[in-house]
Structure 1
Amino acid sequence: MNAKMLKGLFFVAVVALSVAASSCGNKKAENKDKTLNKDEVVKDVIKYPIPTPAEIAKALNDAKAPFIFSLCNPVEKVDLYITDRDKALNLGVYGANLSYSSTYGMKQETLNYLKVSKVLIDELQISTRFNAAFAERVERNIDNKDSLTVIISNSFFDTYAFLQNNGKDYLSILVMTGSWVEGLYTTVQIAISTPKNGVFLKVIANQKRTLDKLLELMDQNKESKNVEDSMSLLFPIKKAYETVNDENLTKEQFEAIASAVIRVRQSIVM
């Protein structure tokens, strides 16, 4: 997979839920052609503006990026997350980890990240009919990566719709933030460890636009103190991207972005 194909693919969504710039009612879905599959209908209704972590993990896998288990947030840390803000941010982190491990066929890691994701979903009271059987579906299809991708993608859409319909938009922003930071962190670390990292540097450079979009969404929801605080959390990364004007990163630009991302990610996972 070349850099052009990878540009728009990055960890900026979540396993447990997705985030969109705006929400629409259910009437549009009711009017859609019933022959369309569920993913097509839901994407059309909620104007899904960003790729799912399953899409991104596949892109990294196709680009022959290695699976590095140590990059993921340890599942043992789940008990450290007490506030809704920390739970939501780390649901995004664990969601990215879940897609990462499942795409690479890491069965035990997938089950481990499934377990902690479900813990945070339950504690945040994100209850949908789909999520009620989410763990069972994943476990039943653990040997089928294609089925897992569909199952995980359906979970994004169902949970996002639940949050939008229940006045919890701010939670989707927080989970998106955690997922995006984790994805950027993962890609930065892969770029550091890969001698021929040109493709990954271009992917990282193109996240300047994604960050601008994320900050725009957060600005629209900053009446939530948790969102406002999380928005401030991203400012060091924003500053590191200030001199980036195209997809060709200099060594100094990459080092500045990497340093900022590592610090921000650490503040999220603790």
Structure 2
Amino acid sequence: MNKGRFIIFSGILSSLILLSSCKEGNNEVEVNKEGEKKVDKTLLDPNRSFNTTFDGKLFSVPSPIQTALLIQSLSIPFNESLLNDLDSAQNHSSLTDQSINLGIYGADLGYVTLYDQSAKSLNYLSVVEDLANKIGIAGAFDKSFINRFESNSNDEDSMLVILTDGFRKADNFLKENNQKNSSALILTGGWLESMYFATQLYKESKNDELLSRIGEQKQSLETIIELLEKYNANGENDKYLTHFNDLKELFMEIKTSYEYVEPETDKSLKLTTIKSKMNIEISEELANKIIEKIAAVRGEIAS
């Protein structure tokens, strides 16, 4: 596979949760005449954000998949040390800890699968299945799901479809059964692991475009915090909010400005798209602080 696509793993779970939330019936997946499912290629639009709805309110979160398209020219080998320890999954006994770590391990699962690490894929799939069982969404990752995943793990499109199906079922079940906090925490875990991989990658590569994409997550972090606050019954999210609010203080130091971009009009669709370019300014000192803080937060939550 093209090594440049590797960071797709880091956001795959959080992106899939967003995908399944924003459209009923999984309309992001196309079915051809033969009945085969194909991923909508617009999912890989580097400028696309996904929308998710909680209690009728729309939240917009840039997909970490966008980052993948910015680093296709990089050739960075598989790095097993970035993965969360499989044994750590047993350290989480509360529903909140299990939910947020399902997001983390789901991102890891995407990474090892897209890097053709078949044995590791099955190990991380096992952890995801176990956490899903504990949360009460076993039906989303039943035997049929596992068989499909195993038999299609070398086909990126098929894998995206299968994971989308699984997490769509999980997300729908959680929201329909008044477990919206678990859904929000899974999204949060996927975002955190995505940021961990992205910041560690920047630490190695010093790629300016990747740094800019990290800076764009300033708004995503605010969305994450809003969701954690919204469903913080009995203070169960307090420990997460402390970490993410500390991180927010650093992100608030990022300087952003917007530049006008000529709108695009599709006459056939009678559709005009309004665009703007965000300019990100992050000092190397601030970037290092964000890298360290992301690693510390991830270590506290995932260990």
Q: Structure 2 length normalisation: TM-score?
A: 0.72
**Percent of pairs identical after alignment?**
26
Match of 2:45? Answer: none
Instruction: Please state which structure has a larger fraction of its residues in strand.
Output: 2
Q: Which runs of 5 or more residues in structure 2 are unaligned? A: 32-36, 41-49, 257-279
Post-superposition, which runs of at least 4 consecutive aligned residues in structure 1 deviate over 6 A? none
Larger Rg: 2
1:183 to 191, 194, 212: 194
Letter in 1 for 2:172: A
| Residues 122 and 94 of structure 1: CA distance in aligned 2, closer, same or farther (over 3 Å) | same
Whole-angstrom distance in 2 between the partners of 1:44 and 1:177: 15
Paired residue for 1:113, among 124, 129, 133?
124
Report the counterpart of residue 216 of structure 1 in structure 2.
226
Aligned mates of 1:36, 1:189 — CA distance in 2 = 34
Counterparts of 1:85-234 in structure 2, within 5 Å, are: 85-128=96-139, 131-194=142-205, 196-234=206-244
**Counterparts of 1:61 and 1:108 in 2: how far apart (Å)?**
26
Equivalence for 2:82: 71
For residues 156 and 51 of structure 1, the distance between their equivalents in structure 2, rounded to whole angstroms, comes to 18
Work out the CA distance in 1 between the residues paired with 2:212 and 2:293: 17
Question: Residues 225, 16 of structure 1: CA spacing in aligned structure 2 closer, same or farther, 3 A cutoff?
Answer: farther
Residue 94 of structure 1: how far off its partner (Å): 0.3
Q: Find the aligned partners of 2:285 and 2:24 in 1 and give their Cα distance.
A: 47
**2 CA distance for matches of 1:146 and 1:57?**
18
Offset of residue 56 of structure 1: 5.5
Identify if the C-alpha distance between structure 1 residues 59 and 135 changes in structure 2 by more than 3 Å, giving closer, same or farther. farther
The 1:218/1:181 distance shift into structure 2, 3 A limit, reads: same
Q: Which has the higher contact order (CA 8 A, sep 6+)?
A: 1
Q: 1:58/1:128 Cα in 2 relative to 1: closer, same or farther (>3 Å)?
A: farther
Provide the residue aligned with 1:3 in structure 2.
Answer: none
**Could you say if the C-alpha distance between residues 201 and 133 of structure 1 is closer, same or farther in structure 2, counting changes exceeding 3 Å?**
same
Q: Report the count of equivalent residues.
A: 253
- Structure 1: any 5+ residue segments left out of the alignment? 1-5
Over aligned residue pairs, what C-alpha RMSD do you find?
3.4
Paired residues for 1:31-70 under 5 Å: 49-50=60-61, 55=65, 58-59=68-69, 62-64=72-74, 66=76, 67-70=78-81
Q: TM-score when scaled to structure 1?
A: 0.80
Deviation at 1:96, TM superposition (A): 0.7
Task: Please say if residues 173 and 217 of structure 1, whose CA atoms lie closer than 8 Å, have aligned partners that are also in contact.
Answer: yes
Aligned with 1:206: secondary structure? helix
Residue 29 of structure 1 deviates from its aligned partner by 4.6
